[in-house]
């Protein structure tokens, strides 16, 4: 009970702080630091002082809420939900569950093995493995606060579509023979963790833990990202990148995706770079394609998957997802969203 | 008591191993701790999220680090 009251008090404080961010930034800039209004430097510093607490506040709140929501989900339950689902419905469900099931790419192998053991088609498993890293609360909050809600929603919807359709195509290609043989021999003699009793208090703890873990890991990227954004704020774009990756060039999107595959970063690390690219005149479609490629297709993940998949399947997997991302990029550039 | 820490080498797995060792020592329990890194063996416990903690053949925790008092509860139950 005490905890609930404390949480409500914190929420009220959160709202008050959030509503007054602009006032606080104004006060710090003009009254404490005594900077001159209208100067480039002043604008940049204002942007930084306003944006950092804004993004941090949003992150803490949403990561907390998502942490609580995730306490209702587990890979074991997700597996049960997916067992015996027909192909397309399975892909849709797996992609959706990929967003809410707690997942870390370090657990990709046990998860893959567990799904195969339960007889879940590999295409459905791939839908899960594509959606889980690609669409997450951190990516969506950062996209929304830096580029607006429309961009965040578009990112989520197209990301889901890629996960569903790629998984479906991979299943239709009948690739089972490219999974390492030993994978099919895995048999568990135990049910794993049988229903833990989770109290409301545990769920709140889970929310707090995920705030500590996620925000603790990414705050530095956010700081750097916003600093870069503040530096670029209002300055004239350099048009070299715009010429190379602007909307005139059809090859901008594939080039961005190929560049993104060997790069590995979480959503928080990549958003500042996306911000800079867009400041420099790279179109939204190309920038989002780059981001999806970095987050969704990465060398470390490929190396992890190599334990259970033969190289042919890895090549096909990467190609199918890359084609999906390319289409998203083209779509946006074509419709000029 | 037979304790097994399941983990393929992720950061949390190593932390769990350390934490379990320390707690067992502090409590002065008579227990063996075994680290299982082979994914094939890990899967036999039905664990899909590492790290996992197995006490006397029963999975008690997966996918996260326990709080110290939680771990003590597992160990003394």
Task: Tell whether the model's pLDDT for residue B50 goes beyond 90.
Answer: no
* Helices of type H across A33-148: 40-70, 75-82, 87-100, 108-117, 122-134, 137-147
**Contact (CB<8Å) B59/A111:** no
Other C-beta atoms within 10 Å of B10: how many?
A: 15
Question: In this structure, what DSSP letter does residue A178 have?
Answer: G
Do the strands B52-55 and B58-62 form a parallel or antiparallel pair, or are they unpaired? Answer: antiparallel
Q: Which residue among B44, B45, B48 places its CB closest to the CB of A75? A: B48
Give the gap in angstroms from C-alpha A107 to the nearest C-alpha of chain B. 6
Average pLDDT rounded to a whole number, residues A221-241:
69
Q: Which domains does chain B have, with CATH numbers?
A: 2-76 (3.40.30.10)
Residues 121-180, chain A, touching B (beta carbon < 8 A) = none
Residues of B in contact with A113 (CB under 8 A): 39, 43, 48
pLDDT tens digit sequence for A173-198: 999 899 998 888 888 777 777 667 78
Residues of A in contact with B48 (CB under 8 A): 75-76, 79, 107, 110-111, 113-114, 192
**What is the distance between the alpha carbons of residues A283 and A332, in angstroms, rounded to a whole number?**
9
Residues of B in contact with A194 (CB under 8 A): 59
pLDDT tens digit sequence for A260-288: 888 877 777 788 788 778 777 788 889 89
Residue B36 has what pLDDT? 92
Closest CA to B61 of A196, A74, A204: A196
Question: In this structure, what DSSP letter does residue A70 have?
Answer: H
pLDDT tens digit sequence for A193-222: 766 778 888 899 889 999 998 899 889 888
Q: Determine the residue among A190, A206, A209, A216 to mutate to test chain B binding: the one whose Cβ has the most chain B Cβ atoms within 10 Å.
A: A190
- What is the set of active-site residues of B? 10, 13
Is some CB atom of chain A closer than 8 A to the CB atom of B38? Answer: no
Contacts 24+ apart (CB under 8 A), B35-38: B35/B4, B35/B5, B35/B7, B36/B4, B36/B5, B36/B6, B36/B7, B37/B7, B37/B8, B37/B9
Is some CB atom of chain B closer than 8 A to the CB atom of A201? Answer: no
**Contact (CB<8Å) B40/A182:** yes
- Averaged pLDDT score across all residues of chain A: 87
pLDDT-derived band at A244 (thresholds 50, 70, 90) equals: low
Classify each residue of A69-79 as buried b or exposed e, where b means 16 or more C-beta atoms within 10 Å of its C-beta: ebbebbbbebb
Of all residues in chain B, what percent carry a pLDDT higher than 70? 100
Q: Which residue among B43, B60, B64 places its CB closest to the CB of A110? A: B43
Q: Which residue among A192, A209, A307 places its CB closest to the CB of B48? A: A192
The interface predicted TM-score of the complex, written ipTM, equals 0.84
Task: Tell whether the model's pLDDT for residue A248 goes beyond 90.
Answer: no
Tokens of A191: 């049910």
Tokens of A157: 């919807």
Q: Which residue among A110, A117, A191 places its CB closest to the CB of B39? A: A110
Of all residues in chain A, what percent carry a pLDDT higher than 90? 43
In chain A, the residue whose alpha carbon lies closest to the alpha carbon of B44 is: A188
Question: In this structure, what DSSP letter does residue B26 have?
Answer: H
In chain A, the residue whose alpha carbon lies closest to the alpha carbon of B53 is: A193
pLDDT tens digit sequence for A286-315: 989 999 999 888 887 888 889 899 999 999
**What is the distance between the alpha carbons of residues B6 and B54, in angstroms, rounded to a whole number?**
8
pLDDT tens digit sequence for A31-54: 888 888 878 888 888 888 998 999
Give the gap in angstroms from C-alpha A147 to the nearest C-alpha of chain B. 34
Average pLDDT rounded to a whole number, residues A116-145:
91
**Contact (CB<8Å) A190/B43:** no
Closest CA to A256 of A295, A302, A228: A295
Q: Are A252 and A244 in contact (CB under 8 A)?
A: yes
Least confident of A28-42, A77-91, A241-255: A241-255
Least confident of A138-147, A158-167, A202-211, A225-234: A225-234
Residue A337 has what pLDDT? 60
């Amino acid at each position: 009970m005490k905890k609930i009251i404390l949480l409500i008090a914190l929420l009220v404080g959160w709202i008050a702080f959030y509503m007054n961010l602009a006032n606080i930034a104004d006060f710090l800039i003009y009254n404490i630091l005594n900077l001159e209004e209208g100067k480039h430097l002043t604008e940049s510093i204002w942007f930084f002082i306003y944006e950092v607490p804004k993004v941090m506040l949003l992150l803490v709140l949403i990561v907390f809420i998502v942490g609580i929501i995730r306490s209702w989900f587990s890979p074991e339950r997700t597996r049960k939900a997916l067992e015996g689902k027909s192909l397309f419905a399975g892909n849709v469900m797996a992609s959706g569950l990929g967003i809410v099931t707690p997942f870390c790419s370090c657990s990709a192998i046990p998860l893959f093995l567990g799904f195969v053991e339960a007889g879940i088609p590999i295409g459905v498993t791939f839908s899960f493995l594509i959606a889980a890293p690609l669409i997450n609360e951190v990516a969506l909050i950062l996209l929304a606060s830096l580029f607006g809600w429309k961009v965040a929603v578009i990112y989520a919807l197209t990301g889901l579509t890629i996960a569903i359709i790629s998984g479906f195509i991979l299943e239709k290609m009948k690739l089972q023979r490219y999974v390492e043989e030993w994978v099919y021999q895995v048999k568990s003699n135990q049910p794993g963790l049988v229903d833990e009793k989770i109290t409301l208090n545990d769920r709140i703890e889970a929310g707090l833990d995920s705030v500590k873990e996620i925000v603790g890991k990414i705050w530095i990227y956010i700081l750097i990202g916003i600093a870069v954004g503040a530096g670029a704020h209002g300055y004239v774009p350099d048009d070299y990148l715009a010429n190379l990756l602007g909307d005139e060039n059809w090859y901008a999107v594939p080039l961005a995706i190929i560049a993104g595959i060997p790069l590995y970063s979480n959503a928080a690390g990549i958003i500042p770079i996306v911000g800079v690219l867009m400041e420099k005149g790279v179109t939204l479609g190309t920038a989002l394609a780059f981001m999806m490629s970095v987050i969704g297709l990465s060398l470390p993940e490929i190396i992890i998957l190599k334990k259970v998949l033969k190289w042919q399947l890895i090549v096909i997997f990467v190609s199918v997802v890359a084609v999906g991302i390319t289409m998203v990029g083209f779509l946006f550039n074509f419709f000029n969203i | 008591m037979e304790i097994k820490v399941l983990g393929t080498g992720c950061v949390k797995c190593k932390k769990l191993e350390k934490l379990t060792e320390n707690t067992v020592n502090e409590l002065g329990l008579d227990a063996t701790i075994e680290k299982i890194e082979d994914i094939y063996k890990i899967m036999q416990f039905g664990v899909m999220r590492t790290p996992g903690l197995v006490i006397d053949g029963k999975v008690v925790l997966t996918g996260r680090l326990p709080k110290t008092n939680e771990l003590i509860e597992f160990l003394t139950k």
